[in-house]
A and B are shown apart, each in its own frame.
Chain A
Amino acid sequence: MEMEFVAKRCGVRFDPPSIVLVYEDGKTKKIRQRIMPVRNFSKYSDCSQAAERLKNNTRHRAYLRDVTSRQLERLHVVLRDRLLGRTLEQSLASLRLDPNQDLNKLSDEELARKKAQMDVLFERNRKCKDDPDFVYDLEVEFPEADDHETCSWDESEDGF
């Protein structure tokens, strides 16, 4: 079946809190913008639930078919952060993975965000029990060769 609406980009509008979708109309091939206000949403709201609610909304769901729940959730996180007084930069930083950031120092919620992002890769590479090529005891040898490059992480002064 041909897609009726092809999502191109999405974003947020802060006032009133809304999710914005730029899409192509499958019939007319025209690029259009749709603004979807997020209702009953406060700084205490569950972003994942709110995202699901929007995705299943009878008026919007046709447009949001190829927007993932995860992406909608992230957009809701940005909206909620604004209600909590955080800047857009802070919000985006919390949704990005910085390999040098010490995650031990984050709050539960901030850590959960980082873990959720790591889970994307985890799920993508995950081999499940039901996969035809699943091997429970998968052993792979990585022989230590002389030409192994020294890990750049070791090239510093701090006692390593």
Chain B
Amino acid sequence: MARGTSDISELDQEKYDTDEQVKIICLGDSAVGKSKLMERFLMDGYRPEQLSTYALTLYKYTTTIDGKAVLVDFWDTAGQERFQSMHPSYYYKAHACIMVFDVQRKITYKNLTNWYKELREYRPEIPCIVVANKIDADMKVTQRNFNFAKKQGLPLYYVSAADGTNVVKLFKDAIKLAMSYKKNSNNFMDEVMRELENFELEQKEESSDKEDGVPKEEKPSLP
């Protein structure tokens, strides 16, 4: 790991816990077209933030979901994938993942296994979309089954950053998945909190019972 990239943990990521902030990460080999997909989706509206010390590019996107403004941070690698591994902070608090391979290069498809394994080490539950990019180079690939996605139970999108096929749909769907994951995981946390509160209440009740009962019960057993 390059020295510079370790500083990534200094980035403030607590904001992603708030309702209106979402983090979506892109994974995949060098030159599969991750940045080109981002740029096609954001068009003129894109203003990437190059964090070269972290080997990472942030693309900010604002959208409205259910009448509420949502800020989406797309995290794109800036060469960090060359270490065949990403810094843990890259995965930290991510709500969805877009995992890209190049339909013209088998090795980028084979490497999905490694990327997916690493993703699941850090984020076992987040939604993940598999993206077959560069279909403009050979439309016949859309007639082929890529078993990796099916085997992992992941959606597969055939896209082209060059002619735009399914790019906008991909990102919109990724945002929806991220939002629903966030909502559900929050609900899950709420439930856990409620359970904990109940637990504490029960404990209190128990202990208050004891406080009442202890003196009475303990008296006879005193020596």
Give Cα A160 to B148, complex, Å. Answer: 6
Give Cα A106 to B79, complex, Å. Answer: 11
Contact present for A153 and B109 (CB under 8 Å)? yes
Residues of A within 8 A of B81 (CB): 104
Most buried by B among A125, A126, A151: A151
Give Cα A157 to B220, complex, Å. Answer: 74
Within residues 136 to 160 of chain A, which ones have a CB less than 8 A from any CB in chain B?
Answer: 136-140, 142, 144-145, 148-151, 153-154, 158-160
Residues of B within 8 A of A144 (CB): 145
Contact present for A104 and B145 (CB under 8 Å)? no
A100-B106, A102-B107, A111-B30 given as contacts; is B146 within 8 A of A151 (CB)? yes
Partner of B143 from A129, A140, A149, A159 at Cβ < 8 Å: A149
Give per-residue flags for A39-56: 1 if the beta carbon is below 8 A from chain B beta carbons, else 0. Answer: 000000000000000000
A118-B31, A121-B137, A122-B161 given as contacts; is B82 within 8 A of A104 (CB)? yes
Within residues 126 to 174 of chain B, which ones have a CB less than 8 A from any CB in chain A?
Answer: 134, 136-137, 142-148, 151, 158, 160-169
Contact present for A153 and B29 (CB under 8 Å)? no
Within residues 185 to 213 of chain B, which ones have a CB less than 8 A from any CB in chain A?
Answer: none
Nearest CB in chain A: distance from B65 CB, A: 17
Give per-residue flags for B11-41: 1 if the beta carbon is below 8 A from chain A beta carbons, else 0. Answer: 0000000000000000001110000100000
Partner of A99 from B36, B106, B143, B158 at Cβ < 8 Å: B106
Residues of B within 8 A of A1 (CB): none
B84 at the binding interface (Cβ < 8 Å): yes
Nearest CB in chain B: distance from A29 CB, A: 38
A135 at the binding interface (Cβ < 8 Å): yes
- Contact surface of B with A, Cβ cutoff 8 Å: 29-31, 36, 43-44, 79, 81-82, 84, 104-107, 109-111, 113, 134, 136-137, 142-148, 151, 158, 160-169
Query: 16 more A-B contacts (CB under 8 A) besides A99-B106, A150-B145, A151-B147?
Result: A100-B105, A100-B106, A101-B107, A103-B31, A104-B29, A122-B162, A127-B163, A127-B164, A136-B43, A138-B164, A139-B169, A140-B165, A145-B143, A153-B109, A154-B147, A160-B148
